[in-house]
Amino acid sequence: MDLALSKVIELRESGFQFLHLRDEDGQLDRIMAFKQRRGFIDSILFWSETEARAGRLPAVRDSRRAAQAVWIYEGPLVEAVDRLLDLPEPGSRNAPTLMKRTASDLAVVTTLPFSLKLPPGAIA
């Protein structure tokens, strides 16, 4: 647990923001950390030290389609944090750019407990 906690602290010190996501009974279900980086959002969602999902998603996307990631990893929390923090800076050589698979649970907007209702053409 000490190593996992130190990795969560490392995320915070790297500028990630945190959301505590609760289930329908109000109990803590999972934690999300996210950080915007040059047109992308790096995010990680974790349930325990053995279960985490991390990804890099475009910051702007068509909300009528499921979110897709250019990079995604599922596994233990420590490994997920290490791999996420080791990703090359977006736009740099070797940074992932090809859309891979659906990652809607890693999209911050679809994870928030509210939705924005905007008229067509509105800018949020």
How many Å apart are CA 72 and CA 68, to the nearest integer? 9
Encode pLDDT of 75-106 as tens digits.
999 999 999 999 999 989 898 888 776 766 77
Encode pLDDT of 51-77 as tens digits.
999 999 888 766 667 778 899 999 999
From 40, 33, 32, select the one nearest 95 (Cα to Cα): 40
Amino acid in the structure at residue 1: M
Report phi then psi at 71, rounded to 5.
-150, 140
Whether the model pTM is above 0.75 = yes
pLDDT of 37? 87
Share of the chain above pLDDT 90, in %: 48
